[in-house]
Structure 1
Amino acid sequence: MTEQLRAGQVDDLDAPALHAWPEPEPPAADPGVGLSVDHGLVRELRREAAERLAARLQANPLTDATARQELCRSLLADVLTARSRDAARAGAPGWSVEEEFALADAVMSALFGLGRLQPLVDDPMVENIEVNGHDQVWVSYADGREERGPAVADSDAELLEQLQHLAARVAGNERTFTTANPRLHLRLEDGSRLAAMAWTTPRPQVVVRRHRVRDVDLDDLIALGMLDTALVAFLRAALRSGKNIIVTGLQNAGKTTLIRALANEFDPMERFATIEREYELHLHELPDRHPRVVAMEAREGSSERDASGRRAGEVTLSELVVDALRMNLRRIIVGEVRGSEAVPMLEAMSTGDGSLCTIHSRTAAHALDRLVTLCLSADIGMTDTFAYRLVAGSVDLIVHARLLDETHIGGRRHRFVSDIVEINGMGEFGRPTTTTVFAPGPDGRAAPTHAPACLPELIRAGFDPGFLDHRTGTWTMPLDLVGAPS
């Protein structure tokens, strides 16, 4: 058993990237999975293994994270062997192989993973995890289920300790999580995004959003019912003709998945940049699709501040957008625009073609006002008239994704595109003119409404205008049979 531990046959700490399509089947049971463990004993074993690891690293430092984990795995096997030997001498019952695997897995997760959150993150069927205090856990699954989850710590204090330990070891961008900095935003090693709050709430709050599907294109979204063939043909032609596209929608509507699918339609030889607060698109992890992508991630900075109040080492999205303009790029993708970075993003769109970004918005029409509000928040003396003019000269299409949640009536959640709006430049009264190309049909899904002004360009890019004659769209499945991942 201990030789198996040294050989690394305990479950890996990092969940595998999920590229399977459609939804993956639940994994086969591994040794120790599902067994309850004594979490007090796990804490003791973690402390003993950590002390041994610290002593070994002090004598022989290891910079490679994988090497440190393998060393710790070997040391932990020694700890477990010694514990088993002591129990046998005392006449106490020993652990079964399954129990020893479960203990080893729990200790390694506590040291290098997410502790008791790790099994939930490793489950390929889990989409979101919400923690409202150590013992109030809710889990959302890909099939629409929302269930109570197990406690992730024995106390709120232990949960905070685990989060602080996690923040301190973020590679290359260490974070602090203290009363002076009560917010934590991290990209986990499997690509999931963690957000946490404490001290400003009665109990610690944690949300983990998982990105179950990464390698996805527009045809895949037809299979999941998020798009129909008319929308796919339209969007492909829009990308080929260099239209700047903003994807809008509320949380969990599938905006990130749609941006991934749009980007995966780029020619493999195109050089473009992705700019994000935390990596969520993961396009740089698909070298066969995107060998020339430049992936950029903002940096929060340390708790120290300079004379101007700026965090030491901070790199903002706005600065990255400006930097990207010097990188010989055709397109720029900003994963989510929600602040002053809206201004450089729109300026980049106005001087280039085919860029993409997402924003939170209740409707496609509301996205215009939302963009202007973000521009005004930049505090650079911009007027609303100039902001509307900047939007009108930069954005070509607004694509709105909608989440229809029918779980409260025994149904499921459905994600689909409901609108596409074309921006036609400035009109009267200081606002852009628009054309609703696709509007919600009887079931809320997008159906062709008006021909866009850019139709000749789309036809040159291969679009068949006959798709616009299907006034109810070309959806192939009824709404109650479709859904798409966030």
Structure 2
Amino acid sequence: MSSPLGAQRFEASTPLSGNGASGALDPQVVREIREAVAARLEHPDGPRASQQDEQARTQRVVLEEVAGWIRRRAEAGFAPPPVSAERALARAVSAALSGLGVIADLLDRTDVENIHIHGHDVVWLERHDGTLERWPYPVADSDAALIDMLAEMFARLGQTSRKFSPAHPIANLRLPGGGPLGARLDAVIEVTDRPRVAIRRHRLVGTRLTDLVGNGTLTQILADFLAAAVRAGCNILVTGGPAAGKTTLLRALCAAIPTPEHVITVEEDYELGLHIDGNRPLVTPLEARQPNAEGVGEITLDDLLKQALRHSPRRVIVGEVRAGEVAAMLRALGNGAAGGMCTLHAGSAEAVFDRIASLGMLAHPPLSSEAAFAWTASAIDLIVHLTKVDDLDASGRERRRRYVTEVLEVGPVGESGRPDATRLFSRAGSGAALPVFAPTLALAGRLAHQGFAPARLQDPPDYPTEAPR
């Protein structure tokens, strides 16, 4: 395995690393070129450019400064480096400008889903299949240097400048790397033994339901059912535990929304990416904002959900609710703009009702359990539950699989005081859920209008217990 950019050296006063063919990046060289680039970027010419133009200008200046450094070395009698080394130097300077440093290299790993940094020299990469890889290189010179790097990120890379220090030891940030939607960084100090950082990459941006059939998350009949439910304007709640694939499934469901509809997405951090889909012209993405270093300027999910309804949406899609904003989410999905969707952490589909009631107590003013059950019954049509399974394949290798294991149709509040629910799909053995009960006549009529024959659920053919992988 080759070492990362920050672990390599370009020798500034001698030919590149002995043989002049491949050497390491000298941090001092990276720093000097970065400072030269930053000085040129401080005084832009003309009016303020768009973010895309600014990025293009920055990249152009980086390449010019790297070329100038190589030219000066050649004039001093050193052999020019190989093209690969020149590109590596340009990437290192760009990473230094963004404040990401060596982390930029890790964000480029398409097989990595999570990056765990436990101190400057303990780095674990969690691949999408659940396996772990120990990254053998440090991401900073010391824990103190790592904290300084994080503090600079929070000061420069977020929507607002934020402090990260012993007085503000917990913070999170959306990084400008790791794909078109970036990545989410969460960091803590002081409350743990060493600086701890978790970075979540948004890998599967363009996922469709057919892709989830291909990897075994869904059976074909379930994919057809869900696509028809989306087209029919059913309000859908996607649930599951951590890393169960909730956001990925929500993206796939959103892909089934008819293109002309006005969709508003409401998220803590942009994860769905509907606004970067060139085939969907009418999307209003709303992203929450944390308070700045002075503690002002916060915009919460609750604020955004209230604002979303003023923009005449056809559908409101909520990335995830974690606290009292569940009340605003239920209002948004129950206001008549059919076809809303959201994700929620829950251990099972049946636990969703109690989970919503618990979160409703955190709303301002608090939502009583009775009101939470009533609002859920009127706002939610379907609960789609995902389960993550970590096991071994036939050769004994670790693997991670994700399945939709339950689909519930939510009915009115029953005699128990809770919403009634009909289990339409359930997991039998291994693999994704299969049909078990027919939907109500009302739901069956909506699905039939979208081309899905309800008889497929009443008398399903024989399906394999696990879709091919």
TM-score, structure 1 as length reference: 0.83
SS of 2:416's partner is: helix
Q: In structure 1, the residue corresponding to 2:389 is in which secondary structure? A: strand
Q: Distance in 1 between matches of 2:96 and 2:160?
A: 20
For residue 201 of structure 2, what is the aligned residue in structure 1? 210
In the other structure, the counterpart of 2:299 is: 315
- How many angstroms does 1:215 deviate by? 1.5
1:26 alignment counterpart: none
Offset of residue 333 of structure 1: 0.5
The equivalent position to 1:359 in structure 2, one of 321, 340, 344, is 344
For residues 117-160 of structure 1, what are the alpha-carbon distances to aligned partners after superposition, in whole Å with 9 as ceiling and x for unaligned? Answer: 12221122222211111111111223443111132222112222
Deviates more, 1:456-465 or 1:348-357: 456-465
Task: Tell me, in whole angstroms, the C-alpha distance in 2 between the residues paired with 1:188 and 1:129.
Answer: 13
Instruction: Give the Å deviation of 1:377.
Output: 0.8
- Mapped partners of 1:177, 1:473: distance in 2: 57
1:156-175 aligned at under 5 Å gives the runs 156-170=143-157, 172-175=159-162
Letter in 2 for 1:463: F
User: Gaps spanning 5+ residues in structure 1: where?
Assistant: 1-28, 306-311
1:42/1:103 contact within 8 Å kept: no
Paired residues of 1:253 and 1:401 also in contact (CA < 8 A)? yes
Residues 1:239 and 2:230 are matched in the alignment? yes
Structure 2: distance between partners of 1:322 and 1:58 = 39
Deviations 1:440-468 (A, max 9, x none): 21115312121122223322332222322
Per-residue Cα deviation, 1:253-304 (whole angstroms, up to 9, x for no partner): 111111111111111100110010110000100021x211111111112021
Relative to structure 1, the CA distance from residue 102 to residue 217 in structure 2 (aligned partners, 3 Å threshold; closer, same or farther) is: closer
Show the counterpart of 1:70: 60
- Partner Cα separation in structure 2 for residue 334 and residue 371 of structure 1: 15
Q: In structure 2, give the amino acid aligned to 1:297.
A: E
- Which residue in 1 is equivalent to 2:334? 350
Q: For 1:383, which of 361, 368, 380 is the aligned residue?
A: 368
8 Å CA contact retained: 1:35, 1:102? no
Larger displacement relative to structure 2 (277-286 or 174-183): 174-183
Moved more, 236-245 or 167-176: 167-176
User: Would you say how many aligned residue pairs link Structure 1 and Structure 2?
Assistant: 440
CA shift at 1:230, angstroms?
Answer: 1.4
Q: Deviations over 1:349-382 (max 9, x none)?
A: 1112110000111111111111111111114143
1:455 paired residue among 444, 448, 457:
444
Deviation string for 1:365-423 (max 9, x for gaps)? 11111111111111414321111111111111100011111149634111110000111
Match of residue 430 from structure 1:
417
Supply the AA of the counterpart residue of 1:296. L
Residues 1:439 and 2:426 aligned together: yes
Task: Report the equivalent of 2:255.
Answer: 264
One-letter amino acid matched to 1:344: A
- What does the per-residue CA deviation read over 1:308-328, in whole Å, with 9 as the maximum and x for residues that have no partner? xxxx21111101111110111
Measured after TM superposition, the shift of residue 245 of structure 1 is 0.5
Distance between the aligned counterparts of 2:98 and 2:38, measured in 1? Answer: 14
User: Once the 2 structures are TM-superposed, how far is the Cα of residue 34 of structure 1 from its aligned partner?
Assistant: 8.1
Q: Take 2:240 and 2:107, find their aligned partners in 1: how far apart are those partners? A: 25
Q: Is the 8 A contact 1:32 1:99 kept in 2?
A: no
User: Could you say if the C-alpha distance between residues 315 and 77 of structure 1 is closer, same or farther in structure 2, counting changes exceeding 3 Å?
Assistant: same
**Comparing 443-452 with 270-279, which one deviates more in the overlay?**
443-452
Q: Does 1:327 align with 2:298?
A: no
Contact 1:73–1:108 at 8 Å: present in 2 too?
no
Residue 21 of structure 2 is matched in structure 1 by none
Other-structure match for 1:283: 274
Please list every run of 5 or more consecutive structure 2 residues that lacks an aligned counterpart in the other structure. 11-23, 49-53
- Return the alpha-carbon distance in structure 2 between the equivalents of residues 340 and 472 of structure 1: 43
Quote the offset at 1:194 in angstroms: 1.7
For the residues of structure 1 that align with 2:359 and 2:55, how far apart are their CA atoms?
40
Contact 1:403 1:413 (8 Å CA) reproduced: yes
1:14 corresponds to: none
Q: Does 1:140 align with 2:111?
A: no
Moved more, 221-230 or 150-159: 150-159
Give identity over the alignment, percent. 38
- Give how far 1:188 is off: 2.2
Is residue 48 of structure 1 aligned with residue 32 of structure 2? yes
Q: Which moved more, 1:188-197 or 1:271-280?
A: 188-197
Name the counterpart of 1:185: 172
Q: Partners in 1 of 2:407 and 2:463 — Cα distance?
A: 15
Deviations 1:200-254 (A, max 9, x none): 2211111222222211221221111111111112112212222110000011111
Cα distance change on mapping 1:234 and 1:55 into 2, 3 Å = closer
Partner of 1:110: 96
1:12 maps to: none
State the distance in 1 between where 2:368 and 2:172 align: 32
Distance 1:413 1:362 in 2: 18
Establish whether residue 255 from structure 1 lines up as the match of residue 246 from structure 2: yes
Aligned counterpart in structure 2 of residue 416 of structure 1, from 403, 412, 415: 403
Per the alignment, residue 300 of structure 1 pairs with 290
Return closer, same or farther for 1:227/1:444 CA change in 2, 3 Å cut-off: closer
Give distance in 1, aligned partners of 2:348 and 2:286. Answer: 29
> In the alignment, residue 111 of structure 1 is paired with which amino acid?
L
Residues 1:44 and 1:473: Cα distance change in structure 2 (over 3 Å): farther
CA–CA separation in structure 2 for the residues paired with 1:179 and 1:79: 39
Match of 1:5 in 2: none
Q: Which amino acid aligns with 2:105?
A: P
User: Is 1:222 matched with 2:222?
Assistant: no
**8 A Cα contact 2:327 2:367, kept in partner:** no
Query: Is contact 2:228–2:447 with CA below 8 Å preserved after alignment?
Result: yes
Moved more, 164-173 or 225-234: 164-173
Change (3 A) 1:170 1:449: same
SS of 2:351 mapped into structure 1: helix
Q: Provide the C-alpha distance between the structure 1 equivalents of 2:392 and 2:200, rounded to a whole number of angstroms.
A: 19
**Shift in alpha-carbon separation, 1:331–1:35, aligned structure 2, 3 A:** closer
Deviations 1:43-78 (A, max 9, x none): 312332243334434555685243234224322433
- Paired with 2:29 and 2:101, the residues of 1 have a C-alpha distance of 13
Aligned-pair CA distance for 1:348: 1.4
- From 379, 382, 389, the counterpart of 1:397: 382
